[in-house]
Amino acid sequence: MVEKILENWVLKFISLAFAVVLWFFVMGESRMEVTHVAPLEYKNLPEGLMIANEVPTSVAIMISGPRTLQVNLSPKDISLSVDLKDLSAGVTSFKRLEESLNIPTGLKITRISPSYVDVKLERVRDREVPVRVVVKGDPASGFSVKSIKVVPEKVIVSGAESELKGVSEVVTEEIDLTNVQESFTQAVAINYTGNYTNLKETKTVEAQIIVQQDPKHVPPQPAEEPAEAVNPEGEKTK
């Protein structure tokens, strides 16, 4: 047993001395605090669910330790992730995010902001809603809009279940009818932006504007110019 301990004792002594010197060097080196901005990833989102609240995509991490170790930190050392595996609909709080960091020995996390994250998961649903065409301006005098048709009449909105409950219709971008005198068809984009919902497929529709002329409308007549006066000598006067 003693022989095994004393075997290569010179090399073992040199290794121990080197480790002690290195430890003193690291501990005696000037220490510093550095703030890193680390991306925050949300992984393993369960099928059929979605994140339905504002969540941070990065965190600020203050790390204290020797300068040499700080310089050698790689992005992988300070990357963070939140594992959503096997979660169900509802709010889950993820605390002590720093515990998932694997920073080198000798460094210490002194602050992390935010230190926790609340994730709200909701079921993804679809809802079919009607499309309303938005117009502005008035047709030319003597003309009026008889009807407005849209193809398709309904589109599908998809997203968080709670937000879908408040979506009863979607509207198009404005179509200008100023001084229009005849019917026309125009492709127009749907103007819809949801917080946690969006249009599933259809992004544009076809609006058919039917314009008719009022048969009883009498266009305004141009004003008659006053007759020119003539003096006794037969000359025209102003």
Question: How far is Cα 205 from Cα 182, in angstroms, rounded to an integer?
Answer: 20
Q: Report the CATH number at residue 103.
A: 2.170.120.30
Q: Judge if 160 and 104 occupy the same domain.
A: no
Q: Judge if 35 and 92 occupy the same domain.
A: yes
Tell me the residue range of the domain where 141 lies: 125-213
Q: Judge if 39 and 116 occupy the same domain.
A: yes
- 3-state DSSP call for residue 201? coil
Amino acid residing at 27: M
Q: Judge if 146 and 114 occupy the same domain.
A: no
Question: How far is Cα 194 from Cα 125, in angstroms, rounded to an integer?
Answer: 14
Q: Judge if 132 and 203 occupy the same domain.
A: yes
Q: Judge if 112 and 132 occupy the same domain.
A: no
pLDDT for 54-97, tens place per residue? 999 999 999 888 888 887 887 777 888 899 999 999 999 999 88
Q: Report the CATH number at residue 135.
A: 2.170.120.40
Q: Judge if 132 and 104 occupy the same domain.
A: no
Q: Judge if 57 and 69 occupy the same domain.
A: yes
Helices (H) and strands (E) in the chain, counts: 4, 17
DSSP 143-185: EEEEEEEEESSEEEEEEEHHHHTT---EEEPPEE-TT--S-EE
Q: Is residue 21 part of a domain?
A: no
Q: Judge if 110 and 41 occupy the same domain.
A: yes
Q: Judge if 45 and 92 occupy the same domain.
A: yes
pLDDT for 152-196, tens place per residue? 999 999 999 999 999 999 999 999 999 999 999 999 999 999 999
Q: Which two tokens stand for residue 50?
A: 């979605």
Higher pLDDT: 119 or 234? It is 119
Query: What proportion of the chain, given as a percentage, has pLDDT over 70?
Result: 78
Q: Is residue 237 part of a domain?
A: no
- Angle, alpha carbons 170-173-177 (nearest 5°): 125
Number of domains in the chain: 2
Go through 56-70 and write b for each residue having 16 or more CB atoms within 10 A of its CB, e for each that does not: eeebebebebbeebb
Residue after which a domain boundary falls, among 106, 123, 140? 123
